[in-house]
Amino acid sequence: MKIGVLSTNKNLYSTRRLVEAAKERGHEVAVINHKRCYMNITSHNPSVHYNGEAIKGIDAVIPRIGASVSFFGTAVVRQFEMMGVYSVNESVAITRSRDKLRATQLLARKGIGLPVTGFANSPDDTEDLLKFVGGAPVVVKLLEGTQGVGVVLAETKKAAESVIEAFSGLKANFMVQEFIKEAGGADIRCLVVGDKVVAAMKRQGKEGEFRSNLHRGGSAKLIKITPEERSTAVRSARVMGLNVAGVDLLRSNHGPVVMEVNSSPGLEGIEKATGKDVAALIIEFIEKNAKHGKTRTRGAG
């Protein structure tokens, strides 16, 4: 099988591991910088071009698309889908999970545990919005943020009003969520492949930091998750339509709540914390499922 890893940097840990795992299992693999792809959008013969040539013979792609290039990156994935190439995560699913508000609404519709969340357009509604989520402290999140950027803990009503006023002044879209104090600055990252949680780790924020992202100096260790946490992670990935996902959970007093469903989860932290060969499990999933034209959305939506 010929597999394309859509990544802007072949030296990134996750990209390297996917390439190694594919080669170890006897596949031909190419790293394709999706930012440098260009497309011929034709009715009966769509194509993707790279380095002056049309890309041919690819059986499957693994999108590793950063949040900053979601629009163009998902357009490239959509073009591959139109060509009948199997994508481990489809373009519609990636777009769905990247929009934090849309993702939260979809998860809520399916009854999945979430922090109480409010969303408004006008700063005049701030007082009511804060009441929705149980008052300060609250978490204010930019909808386009990633890796903990644009996530602010407002510990008092006054601080919350100031942050909301600042974000509104910047014309930024944001949502307000209840602060799950009992989580103690820790979350659980579940790595879902297909319909299984293949690895799970507990991430703990550094002293004085409520965000547990490893990029922000958090630490990680292996954890045993409960059946309810396992079910919540698998269902969340399914609601988004993702075959490979990092689902971030918090342990709240009313059970697991989902903070985020990530369509391009990093492999370094979780492989090192758990000792699991997650990259090989992703390649194995592709082997079992990749077929020409097997795309639920056929590049639509």
For residue 212, what pLDDT is reported?
52
Block residue for tokens 């922000």: 216
Assess whether 173 and 200 both reside in one domain.
no
Specify burial of residue 282 (Cβ count, 10 A radius: 0-12, 13-18, 19+): buried
| pLDDT (0 to 100) of residue 146 | 58
pLDDT tens digits, one per residue of 85-112: 999 999 999 999 988 899 999 999 999 9
- Token pair recorded at residue 133: 């989520």
Task: Tell the residue number behind the tokens 């990636």, with chain if given.
Answer: 94
CATH number at residue 170: 3.30.1490.20
Tokens 């979780």 -> residue: 270
Find all residues with CB under 8 Å of 99, minimum gap 6, and list them.
143
145 assigned to some structural domain: yes
Element (H, E) at 78: helix 70-82
Determine the pLDDT at residue 245. 97
267 and 242 in a common domain? yes
The residue out of 179, 201, 228 marking a domain boundary is: 179
Q: Would you state the pLDDT for residue 300?
A: 42
Q: Is the domain of 108 the same as that of 246?
A: yes
Tokens of 151: 């996530």
Local confidence pLDDT in tens for the 301 residues of the chain: 999 999 999 999 999 999 999 999 999 999 999 999 999 998 888 999 998 999 999 999 999 998 778 899 999 999 999 999 999 999 999 999 988 899 999 999 999 999 999 988 776 778 888 988 888 899 998 877 555 567 888 999 999 989 988 888 888 888 899 998 888 888 999 999 999 999 999 988 766 555 555 555 577 889 999 999 999 999 999 999 999 999 999 999 989 999 999 999 999 999 999 999 999 999 999 999 998 877 765 444 4
Measured at the alpha carbon of residue 46, what is the angle toward residues 42 and 52, in degrees to the nearest 5? 105
Nearest to 176 by CA among 220, 124, 116, 225: 116
Q: Domain count of the chain?
A: 3
**pLDDT score at 297:** 54
pLDDT score, position 259? 92
The whole-number pLDDT of residue 210 equals 55
Dihedrals φ, ψ of 104, to 5°?
-65, -40
Are residues 233 and 100 part of one domain?
A: yes
Give residue 127's domain range: 117-179
Under DSSP, the state recorded for 215 is: G
Name the one residue in this structure whose structure tokens are 């918090």: 250
Question: What CA–CA distance (Å, rounded) separates 122 from 164?
Answer: 10
User: Do 250 and 109 reside in the same domain of the chain?
Assistant: yes
Query: What is the predicted pLDDT for the residue at 1?
Result: 94
Alpha-carbon distances, residue 246 vs 216, 230, 267, 301 (angstroms): 17, 12, 10, 23
The 86-87 sheet, strands edge to edge: 28-32, 2-6, 60-63, 86-87
Those residues whose C-beta lies under 8 Å from the C-beta of residue 284, and which sit 6 or more positions away, are: 25
**Which structure tokens are listed for 50?**
């790279």
Give a yes or no: residue 76 inside a domain: yes
Burial of 52 (0-12, 13-18, 19+ CB in 10 A): exposed
**CB half-sphere exposure, 88, CA atoms < 13 A:** 29
Strand, coil or helix: 12: coil
The pLDDT value recorded for residue 171 is 85
Q: At 229, which CATH number?
A: 3.30.470.20
Return mean pLDDT, the chain.
89
Cα distances from 157 to residues 67, 128, 131, 141, 163, in angstroms, run 30, 12, 10, 16, 10
Q: Give the integer Cα–Cα distance in Å for 301 and 299.
A: 7
